[in-house]
Structure 1
Amino acid sequence: MELSSAPLHKGQLPWRGLLLAASLLIYWSSPTTAQVSVEPVPPHVAEGANVLLLVHNLPETLRVFFWYKGETVDDRKEIARFLMSNNIKKPGPACSGRERIYRNGSLLFQNVTLKDAGAYMLYMKKKNFDIRKAFVQFHVYPRLPKPKITSKNFYAREGSPEALMCEPETENTSYLWRRNGQSLSEGDRLKLSEDNRTLTLLSVVRNDTGAYECETRNPVSTSRSDPFTLNITYGPDVPIISPSNTYFRSRTNLSLSCQAASSPAMFYWYFNGKILSKVKELFILNITTKNSGSYSCLVYNYVFGIMKTTVKNITVLEPVTTPSIQIRNTTVKELGSVFLTCFSRDTGISIHWLFTGQKLGLTDRMKLSLNNSTLSIDPVRKEDSGKYQCEVSNPVSSERSDPIQLDIIASPTTVQVTVEAVLSHVAEVKNILLRVHNLPDTAQVFFWYKGKTLVKGNEIARFLESKRTNKTRPAYSTREKIHHSGSLLFRIVT
């Protein structure tokens, strides 16, 4: 009945401390009326550790005391007895060699096993043959092994239930669950078994992917599993091909990316119906117009046997060449007409016209041909003078012609403008008309003055051709009337 010399485990109560507590009680006297009690120290014992059944208030008048496993006097279950008169210790049939009995009544268990757990009885006989009993029990808990998470399925299918189990199953053990370091509890889509050992995801979604851990606990130890990665199978969604543009310039590199939410996923590229590559990112060097066509990205989920495809039509274009402007004469008389033609060797292009470097604003005197290649101006006016360019473009490039300078010169006046006074001699209070002959059609405004100089105070009236209105001026007497033909009528002359 000697103590074991085996090294102590982590968390084990040192047996020397238990011996000290027991030896101190040998010399402690308690009132004879106090109740005998037994306390396990510690109350929860790890397998392989020591536990002391510490006796309080042991009577001084004892002849002998016995320790039994169980709660009855059974010779086969006697562990040990202590004869007080001569300090003799005797092991019983139930002694395993790991127990040590003390004069103060206490019993030390070394290197306890799960079988040691249970109830024990201290049986005491006094000198007057009076009998007393005290009972105690303690629990022995295994040191928990490292748990492991298991699942029946290698892949968890989106929308289906999935159960994770924490192994092994041990008695008197609590189970806790974590995902990505955060504690999990029952919710709308999570259910725990009665003992918390099984975590069920009632309807798996792709966001449930993560590192799952289970932790086991009992009163003497804690252990946590390695992270378990839950592989969730979903998709594929309809793939998206990027970039979004469909026109590419020749002699550049073509890079296409296929994106689709799917787990697992295999990617295939097809060109005009023929397989091209088994990659997610397609890259073609130095493309030409021969690379124009239909590109398809196919995403295949081989677990479900489901595939989704997206098609993209791509056109590879040559860059446009520099156009030129053809014109018969760059110097045109006012009121004449002019035709400018944009010449380009390219096809499938757009044509735009520019005037002095800016987009040309068409007037009612300008017309464009059906494909915008010819610009006509009829009649031309002085304000049409300036630099003209045409710009050709396709979806990948654009070029401008060299500017053409168009000069508009005024037409010579072939007929002299004259004014005739109808009735050169007129009686006072009569009317007289100053009639104008050969007024130019292009006249925008004309003025009448009294006298032969342009003196502001002598202006009678003016006529604005654009608004077909006349305006009176300082020398107006209310008796004058100006006509759009240029003539001036005087009424009631003085």
Structure 2
Amino acid sequence: MVKISSWELQISGLEKGAGVYEIIVTNDSGGETMERFKLDVYVQNQAARLPVNGSLGQSVYLTPENPHGSKIEEVFWKRSSPRLRIARYMKGDVEYFGAEDYRKRIKLHPGNFSLQISDLQRADTGDYETVVTGNSEVEVTERFKLDVYEPVTGTKISYQIMENCNITLSCSVNTGDNTSFSWWRGQEALRNDSIHHLSENGQELQLHFTAQIECNVYKCETRNPVSEDTAHIKLSHVCNGNKPAEPSCGFPYTVKIISSVIILTILLSIIVIVHVISKR
């Protein structure tokens, strides 16, 4: 379809190829003015966005596929949102764009045409695209979606002994965003059951004991797309009725009684010996 409006020529349904167009403008006095335009039409591959996760303060590589093998004429990197030119490779030379502090953090590697972004910042989150042009003048576009996360650190578990045989374990982290929580008892991943109840976000685990049980090691596992961390706690109090009972792990209670009897026997023996000596 060809449409002329306000001296503009609109061509829809473009097909691959090239051509020369002319426009001739005739004024009131009969004079003519002519201009020529060369139109080149290339095939462009609209690829889906590839997800890439980066860690705050670290480096990330955005690596395109190379449909032309080693026959690359030009590689152009830019951001889609916000719109920003980043770097260009052309005939062996690399050129960088943007502010100086930004240029110091980026590097285009001519070997595989990947874009390296160092010292990642939250502002680096966004959509990126690269346009690769081969010697056949065919353009291939690839898109990347970069998300930058703060790593998870400092996972710890706190506990609170409640009434009615309830113990609540709470898991927290010092740093980390988009963090998920999961709980383990030994090698067993915990789900809601008669003893365990997880909060909606998994950050808290409530334990309900109806009788004294063996002490167990509980583990909280925290993770996000770029990191993971764990913390452990060994229960030293379990519930017997409504009061914390003697721990069933560590020193057995019977051993403590035997130790007390031995100590008491030794003290009585010393008293008897001192009494006998004093009578002499």
Q: TM-score, normalised by structure 2?
A: 0.55
Letter matched to residue 187 of structure 1: D
| Aligned residue number for residue 187 of structure 1 | 193
Q: CA deviation at 1:214?
A: 1.1
Is 2:185 aligned against 1:176? no
Is 2:217 aligned against 1:206? no
2:181 and 2:221 in contact (8 A); partners too: yes
**How many angstroms apart in 2 are the aligned matches of 1:119 and 1:133?**
13
Q: Provide Cα deviations, 1:450-472, integer angstroms capped at 9, x if missing partner.
A: xxxxxxxxxxxxxxxxxxxxxxx
1:137 to 145, 153, 159: 145
2:44 and 2:138 in contact (8 A); partners too: no
Is 2:116 aligned against 1:116? no
Is 2:232 aligned against 1:226? yes
**How many angstroms apart in 1 are the aligned matches of 2:268 and 2:65?**
91
Alignment of 1:3-42 (within 5 A): 35=45
RMSD: 4.5
Is 2:107 aligned against 1:100? yes
Q: Provide Cα deviations, 1:278-297, integer angstroms capped at 9, x if missing partner.
A: x97576969xxxxxxxxxxx
Structure with bigger gyration radius = 1
1:65 and 1:105 in contact (8 A); partners too: no
Q: CA deviation at 1:123?
A: 5.5
| Aligned residue number for residue 76 of structure 2 | 65
| Aligned residue number for residue 147 of structure 1 | 155
| Aligned residue number for residue 386 of structure 1 | none
Q: Provide Cα deviations, 1:97-154, integer angstroms capped at 9, x if missing partner.
A: 2211245643122343454343213357999x99875321133444432411012x3x
Q: CA deviation at 1:166?
A: 0.8
For the structure 1 residues 204 and 55, does the alpha-carbon distance in structure 2 shift closer, same or farther, using more than 3 Å as the test?
Answer: same
Is 2:171 aligned against 1:166? yes
1:46 and 1:141 in contact (8 A); partners too: yes
| Aligned residue number for residue 62 of structure 2 | 53
**How many angstroms apart in 2 are the aligned matches of 1:180 and 1:144?**
22
Is 2:95 aligned against 1:84? no
Q: Provide Cα deviations, 1:232-254, integer angstroms capped at 9, x if missing partner.
A: 354699xxxxxxxxxxxxxxxxx
For the structure 1 residues 135 and 236, does the alpha-carbon distance in structure 2 shift closer, same or farther, using more than 3 Å as the test?
Answer: closer
**How many angstroms apart in 2 are the aligned matches of 1:95 and 1:236?**
62
Q: TM-score, normalised by structure 1?
A: 0.34
Letter matched to residue 235 of structure 2: T
Residue ranges of structure 1 left out of the alignment (5+ in a row): 1-31, 238-260, 265-278, 287-494
Q: Provide Cα deviations, 1:170-192, integer angstroms capped at 9, x if missing partner.
A: 43333222335543221023111
Q: CA deviation at 1:83?
A: 5.6
Question: Which protein has the bigger helix share?
Answer: 2
Letter matched to residue 150 of structure 1: S
Letter matched to residue 78 of structure 2: W
**How many angstroms apart in 2 are the aligned matches of 1:285 and 1:81?**
89
Letter matched to residue 76 of structure 2: F
For the structure 1 residues 156 and 99, does the alpha-carbon distance in structure 2 shift closer, same or farther, using more than 3 Å as the test?
Answer: same
Letter matched to residue 142 of structure 2: A
1:39 and 1:54 in contact (8 A); partners too: no
Q: Provide Cα deviations, 1:290-316, integer angstroms capped at 9, x if missing partner.
A: xxxxxxxxxxxxxxxxxxxxxxxxxxx
**How many angstroms apart in 2 are the aligned matches of 1:234 and 1:188?**
17
2:45 and 2:141 in contact (8 A); partners too: no
Question: Which protein has the bigger strand share?
Answer: 2
Any idea what SS the aligned residue of 1:136 has? strand
Alignment of 1:384-423 (within 5 A): none
Residue ranges of structure 2 left out of the alignment (5+ in a row): 1-41, 248-258, 270-280
Q: Provide Cα deviations, 1:229-278, integer angstroms capped at 9, x if missing partner.
A: 352354699xxxxxxxxxxxxxxxxxxxxxxx9449xxxxxxxxxxxxxx
